[in-house]
Amino acid sequence: MKREIKFSLVFRDMWQSAGKYVPRVDQLVKVAPAIVEMGCFARVETNGGGFEQVNLLFGENPNKAVRAWTKPFHEAGIQTHMLDRALNGLRMSPVPADVRKLFYKVKKAQGTDIARTFCGLNDVRNIIPSIGYAHDAGMISQCSLCITHSPVHTVDYYVDMARQLIEAGADEICIKDMAGIGRPVTLGKIVAGIKEIKPDIPVQYHSHAGPGFNMASILAVCDAGCDYIDVGMEPLSWGTGHADLLSVQAMLKDAGYQVPDINMEAYMKVRSLIQEFMDDFLGLYISPRNRLMNSLLIAPGLPGGMMGSLMADLETNLESINKYKAKRNLPFMTQDQLLIKLFNEVAYVWPRVGYPPLVTPFSQYVKNLAMMNVIAMEKGKERWGMIADDIWDMILGKAGKLPGELAPEIVEKAEREGRKFFTGNPQENYPDCLDKYRKMMKDNKWDTGEDDEELFEYAMHPAQYEAYKSGKAKADFLEDVEKRKAEKENTPAADDAKPKTLTVQVEGQSYRVTVAYGDIDLPASATDKVVMGDGEPVPAPLEGKFFLTKNTQETPRKVGDKVKKGDLLGYIEAMKTYNAICSDRDGTITAICVNSGDSVSEDDVLMRIA
């Protein structure tokens, strides 16, 4: 009999690889005892990555969710682990060092045992501080190698990276095959190389099923010495998710490994609860395509964890493209055509921006850049017209060192726009900020929470936390759920016909205006007060959510501000990146036509400038 292989249920990633949201805390607490009862898991992924931001988006306190969700596993002696994005913490953009330090103390206090840390650029300078932060908090530091397939990502590249992390004090190594495009033989060589460096270091393999390699890869890494395997389970296994527990157990058992037995009665209970949660609301955010295997994913190498949101993005962008085509009597594009164009453009863009590993957030950056290029070219414009600030930070080196070289056309564009390349330690670009957030919470009369967990949440996710505290996040979420249910049932949403009242400011004076679909009768007193600002419109260049600022360091624009051509006006958040909207003329802002946080369509008027 061969050695023992242990299983980890990646419950968080199961959901986020399928769709947009994870279950509410009441649902998590309901399913936890049945997962324990299955008796086959040494570990469960309970939080991390986008988990807490998602809680905020539907108006739930993520700190309470993590405490309640980890508790049953601790009581059963099952380790809990979370996903940490190193320099980016739990979000898409870099985080100051003092917030990163607090992050680990909070998560340990809330019941998380293991921090699985990865850098989307595989820059060990971003990972190594997290090893110390984890140890200071009493956590196990598991450091990740983000696997991708390119001319620069060789076996020697990964084994050397593992050596640096082990020498820096990593307790474990994770082979993070986030797109499932790691080739089985290569992965086996990487694991064998790690075990040669330190035979007793635990190695955990994480892979997505989409391209079709991962069952062979699981067998290859186990033969090379892997200790833990991440698995999913029906109805959220395979597709853009993970290999199914039952299949992995049967395969490894046949290969002679010691694997745990599965309580099938409890398995069916968990399976039934997952389906119940999908039927409640989570299924509204899961594309049927994400349940399919697709070898087309081999070429673009996009990760399974991102594919859940990709299909929703495609729907929005396809609508934008076809609106343009409709105005010009051009043939409409299908979703399949857009998907193929996107995959082809990813293959074009990826090497030209230095082969960043296609993992969060850089997979989104590459995909978004490719999507913007496709949209631009479909509308008769050139590539590279819109590059979000966060993407520029990646290109310029502010987030870490790119594995490959930038294409001359990208370097020339940066120099033409006066952008400076950075070669120092990325953390230097993001000064400490906890004191500022502590003061803001005090001014707002907000409690910093047990173990400063609310302070941490605010500093990690400022815009989402404010939307959560105001109730806007929950209201927007419930409205979106009703809209999706109505669309599913092919009936008009109940709220569509209701007038919506907005407050707009013109030259420092506030006015309340009513917006409705169709004709409504407004009292004369209301229509008399509506004053339109003069000037040229500033149209939205894409669909998304409009924000006047993306962080508290920025001062929002207001009516009456004088601006020059090229000055920042605000942002549209689309596909998880903030796209800067700049003035195309000198002048004065005479009207701000949408509220910060409002959803906008392409060509909606954001402001007027005279």
Residue written as token pair 């699981």: 218
* Residue 297 scores a pLDDT above 90: no
Range list of β-strands (E), 381-535: 500-506, 509-515
Instruction: Check residue 303 and give its pLDDT.
Output: 65
Distance in angstroms (rounded) separating the CA atoms of residues 350 and 285: 28
Its CATH architecture, for the domain 498-609, is Beta Barrel (2.40)
Residue 416 neighbours by CB under 8 Å, 6+ apart: none
Q: CA 210, 256, 159, 168: dihedral to nearest 10 degrees?
A: 110
CATH 3.20.20.70, the chain: domain bounds: 6-291
Output the pTM of the full model. 0.80
CATH number of 6-291: 3.20.20.70
Residue 291 neighbours by CB under 8 Å, 6+ apart: 18, 235, 238, 239, 240
* Residue 499 scores a pLDDT above 60: no
CATH 2.40.50.100, the chain: domain bounds: 498-609
Instruction: Check residue 398 and give its pLDDT.
Output: 93
Distance in angstroms (rounded) separating the CA atoms of residues 518 and 499: 9
The answer to whether residues 119 and 95 touch, using CB atoms and an 8 Å cutoff, is no
Q: What are phi and psi of 253, to 5 degrees?
A: -65, -40
Instruction: Check residue 362 and give its pLDDT.
Output: 87
Q: What are phi and psi of 357, to 5 degrees?
A: -55, 135
Distance in angstroms (rounded) separating the CA atoms of residues 372 and 387: 8
Q: Which secondary-structure segment (H or E) carries 207?
A: strand 203-207
Angle formed by the axes of helices 335-352 and 362-378, nearest 10°? 120
In this prediction, residue 49 has a pLDDT band, given cuts at 50, 70 and 90, of: confident
Instruction: Check residue 495 and give its pLDDT.
Output: 44
Q: What is the DSSP letter of 88?
A: G
Q: Which of 584, 474, 494, 488 is nearest to 539 (CA)?
A: 584
Q: Which of 478, 461, 474, 466 is nearest to 596 (CA)?
A: 466
Percent of the chain with pLDDT over 70: 89
* Residue 400 scores a pLDDT above 60: yes
Instruction: Check residue 308 and give its pLDDT.
Output: 53
Q: Which of 17, 483, 491, 425 is nearest to 236 (CA)?
A: 17
* Residue 314 scores a pLDDT above 80: no
Distance in angstroms (rounded) separating the CA atoms of residues 347 and 370: 9
Distance in angstroms (rounded) separating the CA atoms of residues 550 and 557: 12
Mean pLDDT of 5-29: 92
Mean pLDDT of 139-150: 96
Q: Which of 82, 17, 89 is nearest to 462 (CA)?
A: 89
User: What is the chain's mean pLDDT, rounded?
Assistant: 87
